[in-house]
Structure formats: structure tokens, C-alpha cells
Amino acid sequence: MSKLFRFLFRYPIFLGVIISILMYFLTFTFVVPLIFGIYFCAIIEFFIKVFLENSTNKIIAEYVIYFSLFALLITLIINSIIYKRNTSKKIFLITIFIQIGFIETICFYWYWGKFLDYRNDGQLIFTIVDSFQYAHYIFLPFYFFQQLFYFIPFNKLFNKNLKNEIKYHKKFQHKVDILSVSYEDYTNDLLEEIVSSKEGWTNEAKSAAQLILDKRKIN
């Protein structure tokens, strides 16, 4: 199971295929769509209404869709950083459930506006179920974009402080032991720089950095 998870982590486009098929069959359960619709959509709409009091259903729905799209973009960036840093994959698993929820939310509010013109009547509960079937078309292209995001070096945007720290140690030739810092947050590029450095790092630090690199290659 762990090997399968690592494979899907590295190639999320296949994850999109699995989720698409799974969501298609879950549509017929009637219960699963209601869980996503009543709980996930309702929570997002509740927070949107806090800032948009006395607004029409159309305006609220539009802002829910905008917020969901923005949240999906954030999850894409987060997963890209996790992939580049090869850090905890538990966060990746959490983002999968979040992404499913936001995609289902977008489909519901789109369907609600297109076919019911945002009417809040007895048909709304069936709209939740009907809109669920459209979501499985989105997962494959969405995780294809996730695969593309892996090639964007977002992690470098968050490594400035770590790079400055290494330059500082090199400049003043401080003997810094990598075991005394949060070395698991270092990217492979930074760890390789430590291993290849001729000064500024102890042999123990270089050995620890090499050990981390070897461990990540195995995983």
C-alpha cells in the first residue's frame, strides 16, 4: 500500500483516474453526495455569508466558486512544495480530501445556477446529488495540472532563508552541526550543497546530510 501511495504521490495523474472512477460510482450511493453537499458546501457558504450579509444566492454562489478555485490553487502549490522537498506525505493525503471537497462544491454551485437559477426550493437536495456526477469529469484534468505543477520550482521561493543561512556559515566558517537544526526541512539541493562544501560544515554534518539524501532516494 505504501508503494502504491508513493507512486500516486509522484504521478498524481493516475490518482485523478482512480478518483474519477470512484466518484462516478459513489454518485449512485446518494449518501456520499449528500455528505459533501450538506457539510462541506454548507461550511464554505457559511463563512462566505459572514462577509456577504443580505446578498442574493447568485452572488454568494459566485464568491463560493471563486474562493474554492483559489483554495484549489493553494493546494496545488502546497503539494508541489511537498513533492520537491520530499517531506511528509500525510499533508498530501489531507489535501486530496480537501481538493475533492472543493471540486464538488464548485460543481454544485455551477449546477445550481445553470439548471435551477439559484432557486432555494425542495429540488435543492436533488441538485446536490445530480451535480455530483459532473465532478468526476474534473478530477483527471485537475490532477494533470497537479503533475505540471511539480515542474514549477515553488520550493525555491521558500528556501531563501535556508540559502542565506548556508552562505552565512560559509562566510564566517562557523562549524555548524546539521543535527542541531531542523535538517528535514532542507531540500535535496541544499543537502547536496552541504555534502560538497569544503568548509563551513563539520564532517558529522556532511555525513548526516548524505544519510538524509540516501534515505530519500530509497523512499
pTM metric for this prediction: 0.69
Query: Per-domain residue ranges for the chain?
Result: 2-155, 159-218
For residue 171, pLDDT over 70 is answered with no
* Alpha-helical regions (H) of 11-153: 12-26, 31-35, 42-51, 57-85, 90-116, 124-149
Better-predicted residue by pLDDT, 74 or 132: 74
Q: Identify whether the C-beta of residue 132 lies closer than 8 Å to the C-beta of residue 101.
A: no
Residue 100 backbone class (left: φ over 0; alpha: ψ -120 to 50; beta: rest): alpha
Give percent above pLDDT 70 in the chain: 80
Residue pair 143/8 in contact (Cβ under 8 Å)? The answer is no
Q: For 132-156, what is the mean pLDDT?
A: 82
List beta partners, residue 153: none
The 3-state DSSP class for residue 176 equals strand
Q: What are phi and psi of 201, to 5 degrees?
A: -130, 145
pLDDT at 146 over 60: yes
Residue 201 DSSP code: B
Q: What is the pLDDT of residue 62?
A: 92
pLDDT reported for residue 63: 93
Alpha-carbon gap, residue 215 to 219, rounded angstroms: 6
User: In terms of residues, how long is the chain?
Assistant: 219
As given in the structure block, the three cell numbers for residue 106 are 464548485
- Cα distances (Å, whole numbers) of residue 54 to 51, 58, 156, 203: 10, 12, 43, 65
pLDDT at 218: 66
> How do residues 55-81 score in pLDDT, each as one tens digit?
888 999 999 999 999 999 999 988 888
Q: Give the residue among 114, 117, 132 at the shortest CA–CA distance from 41.
A: 132
Residue 67 has a pLDDT of 94
